[in-house]
């Protein structure tokens, strides 16, 4: 073990009454919930970028963190991988995620960049073979370097489209080689700042063609994982093309890819879009494009993407309720796309952030499972729509035109009686479980 996390022991489950500072009080990976191990329900992943690459900057000031592995050469990249696997050994989580740019130093030439990346992927592969977590998903960073300032697939310059496609090919190869279960595309700068210089139609067609090539390449190399798009409404660009789940579904339908691509939903991005996390999950499940989640909240006041670790069991419970209702994760999981606050300098802060988040998620999932098992919310919902289960109602829906329905209302002298939606009663019910 490297010196960075020295003195921090692997974290164990000790139960809700433990006085130990760093322990799991709710996350017992081996506990059985709805017939499945808790670890297999939650499928936690640590994100390489925020946990190991982020320097602690904000728009008003630069680096606050002083990690021994910071640097832009291959030795630094290997030291970062060593530290990552040391943290994984402490947390015992089953997965991790990365972008190409987080794990290896870039270069101005494509081949040199790719060589660096492939070498570190091999290094990570050796560490994975020696034990530790699996790869939940890989992805390419097509937004940080200045060449991507006007987008990747949607760039007005075809050379940037080509560079992006070549980068995704290398990242999909690496994800496949490491046994990744998904491949994610986040359209970092796939959007625009001003319509004055933007051709919306052309950019959407470029994005559709790009995604089709990604799907084709998945089959070409025999990658069995899921291709995921991560919606976000704005930031970095003013208007993102992958605004929210509904927008992404429209995009997939437009290019005939709705059976090939699913969504990775982030709580913070849902909040930025003016939705709740559970709304986005429920809608994706309803459209049959639910894939995975990034579990990181936003500050409700700041209006930007603060990427904080989850700390609200009720919010988390409502999200997992929709996931369990939809049958749980298949290839997806719970990725902590979350960063520390910039004053949280110590190794202990990084460990504690993950431990607390894992516990909050476990608590939320157990509450969600209990609500689902008891059927209280489902019974109330079924009762609310019970009128639609009659054959008359179904006949109206399926077979009657407006004129026939009109005659029915007149003949029966129909006078609809409003009934309570019982919202507070249902909210009280949720409070009993969380
Ligand atoms: Mn994310």
Residue 432 CB: number of other CB atoms within 10 A?
11
pLDDT digits (tens, 9 = 90+) for 372-408: 999 999 999 999 999 999 999 999 999 999 999 999 9
β-pair partners for 297: 308
Is the model's pLDDT at 22 over the cut of 70?
yes
354 is known as an active-site residue = no
Q: Where are the strands (E) in 41-181, listed by range?
A: 44-47, 95-99, 134-139
pLDDT digits (tens, 9 = 90+) for 94-103: 999 999 999 9
pLDDT of residue 388: 97
Q: Which of 26, 41, 99, 269 is catalytic?
A: 99
- Find the 211 Cα to ligand 1 centroid distance in Å: 19
- Find the 188 Cα to ligand 1 centroid distance in Å: 10
pLDDT of residue 37: 98
SS3 13: strand
Q: What is the mean pLDDT of residues 253-269?
A: 98
How far is residue 48 CA from its own chain's centroid?
14
pLDDT of residue 300: 84
pLDDT of residue 302: 84
Is the model's pLDDT at 2 over the cut of 70?
no
Mean confidence (pLDDT) of the chain:
97
Q: What is the mean pLDDT of residues 160-178?
A: 98
Burial bucket for residue 4 (CB in 10 Å: 0-12, 13-18, 19+): middle
Q: How far apart are CA 408 and CA 209, in angstroms?
A: 50
How far is residue 319 CA from its own chain's centroid?
12
Is the model's pLDDT at 276 over the cut of 50?
yes
Q: What is the mean pLDDT of residues 200-210?
A: 98
pLDDT of residue 1: 47
pLDDT of residue 3: 79
CA angle 13, 16, 20 (to 5 degrees): 65
pLDDT digits (tens, 9 = 90+) for 58-89: 989 999 999 999 999 999 999 999 999 999 99
pLDDT digits (tens, 9 = 90+) for 119-141: 999 999 999 999 999 999 999 99
- Find the 307 Cα to ligand 1 centroid distance in Å: 8
Grade residue 273 by pLDDT with cuts at 50, 70 and 90. very high
Q: What is the mean pLDDT of residues 234-246?
A: 96
99 is known as an active-site residue = yes
The DSSP secondary-structure symbol of 69 reads T
For the chain, the 3-state helix, strand and coil shares in percent, each to the nearest 5, are 50, 10, 40
Domains of the chain: 29-374 (3.20.20.150), 387-433 (no CATH)
Q: Which of 100, 102, 242, 294 is catalytic?
A: 102
Residue 55: both structure tokens together? 């320097």
- Find the 294 Cα to ligand 1 centroid distance in Å: 5
């Amino acid at each position: 073990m490297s010196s960075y996390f020295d003195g921090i022991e692997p974290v164990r489950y000790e139960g809700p009454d433990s006085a130990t500072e760093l322990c799991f009080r709710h996350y017992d990976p081996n506990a059985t919930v709805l017939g499945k191990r808790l670890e297999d329900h939650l499928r936690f992943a640590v994100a390489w970028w925020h946990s190991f690459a982020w320097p602690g900057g904000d728009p008003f000031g630069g680096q606050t963190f002083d990690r021994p592995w910071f640097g832009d050469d291959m030795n630094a990249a290997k030291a970062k991988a060593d530290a990552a696997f040391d943290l994984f050994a402490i947390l015992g989580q089953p997965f991790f995620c990365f972008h190409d740019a987080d794990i290896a130093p870039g270069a101005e030439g494509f081949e040199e960049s790719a060589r660096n990346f492939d070498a570190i992927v091999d290094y990570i592969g050796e560490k994975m073979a020696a034990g530790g977590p699996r790869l939940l998903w890989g992805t390419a960073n097509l937004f940080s370097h200045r060449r991507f300032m006007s987008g990747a697939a949607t760039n007005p310059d075809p050379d940037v489209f080509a560079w992006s496609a070549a980068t995704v090919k290398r990242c999909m190869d690496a994800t496949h080689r490491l046994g990744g279960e998904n491949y994610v595309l986040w359209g970092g700068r796939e959007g625009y700042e001003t319509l004055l210089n933007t051709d919306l139609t052309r950019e959407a067609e470029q994005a559709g063609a790009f995604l089709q090539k990604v799907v084709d390449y998945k089959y070409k190399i025999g990658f069995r994982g899921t291709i995921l798009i991560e919606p976000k409404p704005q930031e970095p660009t003013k208007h993102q093309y992958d605004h929210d789940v509904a927008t992404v579904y429209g995009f997939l339908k437009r290019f005939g890819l709705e059976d090939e691509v699913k969504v990775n939903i982030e709580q913070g991005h849902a909040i930025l879009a003016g939705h709740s996390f559970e709304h986005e999950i429920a809608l994706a499940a309803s459209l049959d494009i639910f894939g995975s989640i990034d579990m990181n909240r936003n500050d409700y006041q700041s209006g930007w993407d603060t990427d904080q670790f989850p700390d609200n069991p009720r919010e988390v419970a409502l999200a997992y309720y929709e996931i369990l209702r939809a049958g749980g994760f298949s290839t997806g999981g719970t990725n902590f796309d979350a960063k520390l606050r910039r004053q949280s300098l110590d190794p202990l802060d990084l460990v504690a952030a993950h431990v607390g988040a894992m516990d909050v998620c476990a608590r939320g999932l157990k509450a969600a499972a209990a609500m689902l098992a008891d059927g209280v919310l489902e019974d109330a919902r079924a009762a609310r729509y019970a009128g639609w289960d009659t054959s008359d109602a179904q006949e109206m829906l399926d077979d009657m035109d407006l004129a026939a329905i009109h005659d029915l209302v007149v003949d029966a002298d129909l006078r609809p009686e409003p009934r309570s939606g019982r919202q507070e009663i249902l909210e009280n019910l949720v409070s009993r479980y969380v």
